[in-house]
Amino acid sequence: MSGTVKEAVSLMEVLPESDQNFVLEFIKKLRFFSLAVILWIIMSITMTACSPMQGREEAYSASFFAMDTYMTFTVYDDDAKAAREALQQAQEEIGALEALWSVTDEDSDIYALNHSGGQPVTVRDETAGLLSFAVKMAQETDGALEPTLYPVLTAWGFTTEVNRIPAAEEIERLLECVGYDRVKVEGSLVTLEDGMMLDLGSVGKGYAGDRAGRILIEKGINSALLDIGGNIQAVGARPDGSDWRLGLRSPFGEGIFGTLQISDRAVVTSGNYERYFIGEDGVRYGHIIDPETGYPVNNGLASVTIIAGDGKLCDALSTSLFVMGLSDAVAYWRTHQEEQPFDMILVTEDRKIYLTEEIKGKFNLQKECKDMVIYPVTSSVAEGKNGNYKFRP
208 touches ligand AMP (CB under 6 A): no
Minimum CB distance to ligand AMP, residue 122 (Å): 24
- Using alpha carbons, select from 185, 202, 174 the residue that is nearest to residue 132: 185
Examine residue 315 and tell whether it contacts ligand AMP (CB under 6 A).
Answer: yes
Per CB under 5 A, the segment of 39-47, 218-226, 313-321, 384-392 that binds Mg ion is 313-321
Cα 375 from Cα 29, distance rounded (Å): 30
Comparing CB distances to ligand AMP, the nearer of 250 and 319 is: 319
Report the residue number, 24 or 345, with the smaller CB distance to ligand AMP: 345
Residue 114 vs 319, nearer CB to Mg ion: 319
Assign 209 to helix, strand or coil.
helix
Task: Tell which positions 148-207 bind Mg ion, by CB under 5 A.
Answer: 202
Shortest distance, position 240 Cβ to ligand AMP, whole Å: 32
Residue 199 interacts with which of ligand AMP, Mg ion, none, CB < 5 to 8 Å by class: ligand AMP
Name the strand (E) or helix (H) holding 47. Answer: helix 35-49
| Cα–Cα distance for residue pair 170/165, rounded to 1 Å | 10
Which listed option, Mg ion, ligand AMP, none, makes contact with residue 301 (CB within 5 to 8 Å by class)? none
Question: Site map for ligand AMP, 255-294, x if CB under 6 A?
Answer: ---------------x----------------xxx-x---
* CA–CA–CA angle 263, 369, 362 (5° rounding): 20
Cα–Cα dist 161/156, whole Å: 9
**Identity of the residue, 315 or 328, whose beta carbon is nearer to ligand AMP in the bound complex:** 315
Q: Which residues contact residue 48 at a Cβ distance below 8 angstroms, ignoring those fewer than 6 apart?
A: none
Written in H, E and C, the secondary structure of 165-200 is CCCHHHHHHHHCCCCHHHEEEECCEEEECCCCCCCC
Q: Does 318 bind Mg ion (CB under 5 A)?
A: yes
| Count of positions on this chain that bind Mg ion (CB under 5 A) | 4
Say how far apart CA 55 and CA 44 lie, in whole Å.
19
Residues 6+ apart with CB under 8 A from 75: 59, 60, 61, 83, 86, 87, 216, 221, 223, 224, 235
Nearest distance from C-beta of residue 308 to Mg ion, angstroms: 12
Pairwise CA distance, residues 317 & 315, whole Å? 5
**Binding status of residue 307 toward ligand AMP by CB under 6 A:** no
Q: How far is the CB of 25 from ligand AMP (least distance, A)?
A: 28
Burial track 136-165 (b if 16+ CB lie within 10 A, e otherwise): ebbebbebbbbbbbbbbbbbbbbbeeebbb
Q: What H or E segment, with its residue span, contains residue 75?
A: strand 69-77
Please name which of 8, 9, 211 lies closest in space to residue 91, comparing C-alpha atoms: 211
328 interacts with ligand AMP by CB under 6 A: no
We find the least distance from the C-beta atom of residue 306 to Mg ion, in angstroms, to be 8
For residues 191 and 179, what is the distance between their CA atoms, to the nearest angstrom? Answer: 13
**CB contact at 8 A, 103 and 159:** yes
Q: How far is the C-alpha of 116 from the C-alpha of 118, rounded, in Å?
A: 5
Task: In angstroms, give the least distance from the CB of 392 to ligand AMP.
Answer: 29
Under the criterion CB under 6 A, does residue 183 sit at the interface with ligand AMP?
no
Q: Which is nearer to ligand AMP, 318 or 348 (CB)?
A: 318
Residue of 20, 74, 91, 202 interacting with ligand AMP (CB under 6 A) = 202
Site string for ligand AMP, 122-161 (x = CB under 6 A): -----------------------xxx-x---x----x---
Among 71, 323, 324, 355, binds ligand AMP (CB under 6 A): 323
Q: How many amino acids of this chain bind ligand AMP (CB under 6 A)?
A: 18
Q: Which stretch binds Mg ion (CB under 5 A): 88-96, 131-139, 308-316, 375-383?
A: 308-316
Kindly list the residues in this chain that would bind ligand AMP in the complex (CB under 6 A): 145-147, 149, 153, 158, 199, 201-202, 270, 287-289, 291, 315, 318-319, 323
What residue ranges bind Mg ion (CB under 5 A)?
202, 315, 318-319
